[in-house]
Amino acid sequence: MNALGLGTVANSTVNYHYKPTTLHTCSSSNLNPKPTPLSLSMATPFNLSQPIGHHDLLIVGPGTLGRLVAHKWRQEYPGCQVFGQTLTINHHDELIQIGINPSLKWTKDTIKFPYVIFCAPPYQSSHYHADLREAALCWNGEGSFVFTSSSAPYDCNNNGLCDEDTPVVPIGRSSRTDILLKAEQIVLEFGDKGAHAYWLEKGIVESRPDHILNLIHYEDAASLSVTVLKKQFRGRIFLGCDNHPVSRQELMDLVNKSGKFSKKFEKFTGTDDPLGKRLNNSRTRQELEWEPKYSSFAHFLETI
C-alpha cells in the first residue's frame, strides 16, 4: 500500500500496494529483463470487435492498479470495452483472460478513447514523458484522462503534515521528482506490492525506522481513479491516502503482531536517511464524496 497522486486534464493522481499517490486528470467540458520502450513498429494493435463506445477505457500500464481499475470500471459500465497498452507481450494472455484487450502498438492515428488512465511507472521506460504524451494523444477529449503519480513531489521530508496544498519540490533539486513534476505538467497542458511484504522477506532493512509512510490499498487507489474518471473534472489534482500515516517501525510492528505471516521482521538499521511526510486528503474525500474501503493498514491486516 502506498499513497497516490492523481492528475486530470479536466483532472487527478492515486496508490496498500501501501504508498501515497497523486492523481492528475484531464477532461473536456463536454467533453526482470530490462523492458524496451513502447515501439510504434511492433505489430500487435488492438483487436476491435466493435466501434469505441462512450464508456470504453484505455489503461496504459495494466499492472496491479490498472487491472483493478478495469474490474471496477466494468462494474460501473457493464458491456464497455477495456483496452491495455503494454510494454511487452509477457502478460497479454493474462489480460485477455480478465477481459482487457492488450496491444503494444500506439493507436493515436487510428483509435481514440473517451477515458484513458496512465498507470505505468517511470522506472520501466527510458521514454516516460514521450509515452505519457502518446497516451494523452489517445484521449478523444470527451471523458477524462487520469495520470497516476506519487506523493514524492510534495516538498516535505521531516514527517510533517502534508495535504493537497503543500508546495512541491523545486525543479532541479531531484531527478526523481523532476521526472514526475514534468509528467504532471504534460498532463495539465493537455487540458506499485506493499513495502511490508518486501521488508518482511528481507528481515533486516538498512532504512531508518521513524520515516513516516502514507498508504492506500490498491483497491482504494482503483476506486479513487474510477471516481475521478467518472466526474470529468478539468485541470485538477487530487490526493489518495488512508489518512493514517505510520512509521516504518509502526508498520512492521503491526505486521509482526498480526499473526498473519509465517516470517517475523527483525529490524531497521538506518539512522540518517530522509524522513517522510504526513498526508491528509480530507479535501479530496469531501469533494469527490469518496471514502476508502480500507481505512488504515491495521484495518487491512484484519481482513486478510
Distance (Å, rounded) from C-alpha 216 to C-alpha 4?
Answer: 7
Name which of 73-82, 98-107, 251-260, 282-291 the model is least confident about: 98-107
Most confident by average pLDDT, 5-19, 60-74, 191-205: 60-74
Contact call for residues 187 and 45 (beta carbons, < 8 A) = no
* Helical axes 128-137 vs 175-189, angle rounded to 10°: 20
pLDDT of amino acid 23: 61
Task: Quick: pLDDT tens for 167-177.
Answer: 889 999 999 89
The residue range of the domain holding 165 is 4-303
pLDDT confidence bin for 249, thresholds 50/70/90: very high
179-200 pLDDT, tens digit per residue, is: 999 998 888 777 545 678 778 8
Give the number of other CB atoms < 10 A from CB of residue 84.
26
Assign residue 54 the CATH number of its domain: 3.40.50.720
Mean pLDDT of 253-280: 91
Provide mean pLDDT across the span 103-116: 74
When divided into structural domains, the chain yields a total of: 1
Q: Tell me what the mean pLDDT of segment 95-111 comes to.
A: 79
Compare 188 and 76 and report the one with higher pLDDT: 76
